[in-house]
Amino acid sequence: MKYYLLLVSSSTISRQTVKATRRGIAFAFSSSPKQVSKGYFSNCINHYRTAGIVTNFEYTPRRAFENSRSHHCLALCAIDPTKASKMAPSTRQRRKASNISKPASESAESEEEKDTVRGKTAKATKGAKTKNSPASKPVAKKTKNAKAKNKKVESDDESKDFVSENEAGDTSSNSELTESIPAKRSPAKRKSSTVSSESKSSKKEKNPEQRITERDPLPKLWKPSEHDKCFKILSWNVDGLRAVMKNLPTAMSDLVKKYDYPDLVCLQETKLQDIHVEDPKLMIKGHLLDEEGYDSYWSCSTAKKGYSGTAVFIKRKGGKSLNNAKFIVDGANKGEDNKGKQKSIESFFSKKEKDPEHENRSTKCEDGESFDPNYLPVDISYGINHSDHDSEGRSLILDYPLFTVLNLYVPNSGQKLERLDYRTKEWDKHLVEFVKLKEKERGVPVIWLGDLNVAHLALDVWNEGAKHLAKSAGTTPQERESFSLQLQEGYCDLFRELHPEAKGQYSFWSTRAGNRQPNKGLRLDYFVGSKSLLVDGSSSKVVARDSYMDPEQLGSDHCPVILELEIKE
């Protein structure tokens, strides 16, 4: 007697289910009720008991798989392998069980009747064939039928593995036919199948190793000294800020500490509403990175809930908060709200004297501690002056004294490219118009950064040349051409200018496909700036020195990207 597991399911048992657990299961059959009860289970295997196949069993209900909604039951049964049936309970098995339950005399008589009938039919067919054909043909046909029958038994053994080798030998009733079949045929066939399965498994194991995209190490282009002034910007598409804070509560804090507290942190795709930002239970505004010394500003989507959204975190200077501190800049008290106050006539016509502190570009807090005002924005605005775009909270603009920063989350064209025309014909054109106007009005370089949702060059895609790229968002010819037209207006991709030959440097990986570990990604996050940022001359006040990614940072399908600027005096 051998012990096997008996599987009963309340729904149809798929071939994969049986195949995954077939080595420990003797029988597998399904039932129509919504739930398998212990009483129904006993009724199902009752015919096995009457047949003498199952002597005892232990009922254990459980779910066989976590993702399965159907109820599965397992039972440990003592089964006689010589009598075990390979088929699920059916009318055929019930008939067999009823025949076995008859007295021994009746079953013997029935077997003798069957043998006589088989003998008569075999003789009749043999006599008919000998009249019309040579004597060698019936033997050949018998061997052919025997081979076919042996193949059927062999396939059943390979598909289920429920029957022992002794039972497979008992299934054939004609001994003459079985003797004509070579004995070593089935083992050879099984051996070839095992060899082929081993070769397939080895190929599957080798494929992931061959497809890993190598990432070129980036050299450190700039190491600022004590006298150099570095302005560091960190940008990250968080793909839902609440999810990041829930799954990795210290991710933001650890990130700013890792890069020595960047002067500006920009986030995209926060998926927040105004009520979420102000909700004290979520502890976002006034809590997130507050202890690390940052003030935050938020732009949320009003067109659609839980959609898009951008945010910036500005590092405080002089130990004071940008929101609450009263800074003395150019003789004006920036902490007071002067809107709506009318100036006197004397102050209007009076001659303004130059402030020596303004000339030296040094600013003091109320406690007397000095700091460089170039590290704080003089103005913060929302949107690019188009109502069609600004309602989705995709842009935050910061006007620093020496440059302008645009934190952007560019619209995605969609899986079916339903927003491709909107993105290339409206958004991209309006963005360039706004950037050029901003640069002309302020007279300082412009940097727009964030998730721009385009993989521009072949180096920015891990599988460049694939046919589906032309119809995938971010890699369509229209999006790439539109980005090229933006750069032709006097701007450049700062990372690609600083690392023109770097391969495998991506900022996005599909989470569903599990592409992060093999580095099958795209570079969708950029720092695009005026070409003057790459000119290191005597008149240059801001110079782009280095740019890189942090692919080890988890929490999103994107990774942070960093830009280092040198502020010259």
How far CA 46 is from CA of 22, 39, 366, in Å, comes to 22, 11, 91
Mean pLDDT of 229-255: 97
Residue 450 confidence (pLDDT) above 90? yes
Q: Is 506 a catalytic residue?
A: no
Cβ proximity of 236 and 407 under 8 Å: no
pLDDT value, residue 396: 98
Statement to judge: residues 276 and 365 lie in one domain: no
Selected catalytic residue, list 451, 525, 546, 557 = 451
Helix, coil or strand: residue 178:
helix
Quote the strand ranges of 134-279, DSSP E. Answer: 229-237, 264-268
Statement to judge: residues 471 and 412 lie in one domain: yes
Helix, coil or strand: residue 217:
coil
Q: Which residue has the tokens 């940022």?
A: 533
pLDDT value, residue 169: 40
Residue 345 lies in a domain: no
pLDDT value, residue 226: 87
Q: How many CA atoms lie within 13 A of 90 on its CB side?
A: 7
Selected catalytic residue, list 409, 506, 526, 548 = 409
Tell me how long the chain is. 569
Residue 84 confidence (pLDDT) above 60? no
- The two structure tokens encoding residue 226: 């004590």
pLDDT value, residue 332: 32
Q: Which of 141-145, 368-372, 495-499, 521-525 has the lowest mean pLDDT?
A: 141-145
pLDDT digits (tens, 9 = 90+) for 250-282: 999 999 999 999 999 999 999 999 999 999 999
Q: Is the pTM of this model over 0.75?
A: no
| Chain centre distance of CA 34 | 34
Domain that holds residue 370: 318-335+357-375
- The two structure tokens encoding residue 242: 């609440």
Number of domains in the chain: 3
Statement to judge: residues 446 and 414 lie in one domain: yes
pLDDT value, residue 100: 53
**End residue of a domain, out of 126, 158, 174:** 126
Statement to judge: residues 326 and 265 lie in one domain: no
Give the CA dihedral 452, 457, 463, 469, nearest 10 degrees.
Answer: 60
Q: d(Cα 122, Cα 174) in Å, to the nearest integer?
A: 11
Statement to judge: residues 426 and 555 lie in one domain: yes
Statement to judge: residues 111 and 244 lie in one domain: no
Residue 150 lies in a domain: no
Any idea what the CATH number is for the domain that residue 388 is in?
A: 3.60.10.10
Residue 156 confidence (pLDDT) above 70? no
How close are the terminal C-alpha atoms of the chain, in Å? 91
**End residue of a domain, out of 103, 126, 149:** 126
Statement to judge: residues 448 and 550 lie in one domain: yes
Cβ-based neighbour number of residue 371 at 10 Å: 17
Statement to judge: residues 410 and 325 lie in one domain: no
Residue 384 confidence (pLDDT) above 70? yes
Residue 140 lies in a domain: no
Statement to judge: residues 398 and 538 lie in one domain: yes
Statement to judge: residues 44 and 96 lie in one domain: yes
Residue 517 lies in a domain: yes
Cβ proximity of 568 and 541 under 8 Å: yes
Element (H, E) at 55: strand 54-62
Helix, coil or strand: residue 428:
helix
Q: d(Cα 257, Cα 335) in Å, to the nearest integer?
A: 29
Residue 439 lies in a domain: yes
pLDDT digits (tens, 9 = 90+) for 323-382: 543 332 333 333 334 333 344 434 433 444 444 443 444 455 544 556 789 999 999 999
Residue 306 lies in a domain: yes
Q: Is 409 a catalytic residue?
A: yes
Residue 188 lies in a domain: no
Residue 92: band (very low, low, confident or very high) from pLDDT cuts 50, 70, 90: low
Q: What percentage of the chain exceeds 90 in pLDDT?
A: 50
pLDDT digits (tens, 9 = 90+) for 403-424: 999 999 999 999 999 999 999 9
pLDDT value, residue 355: 42
Beta bridge partners of 492: 529
Helix, coil or strand: residue 268:
strand
Statement to judge: residues 54 and 73 lie in one domain: yes
Statement to judge: residues 322 and 427 lie in one domain: no
Residue 129 confidence (pLDDT) above 60? no
Residue 172 lies in a domain: no
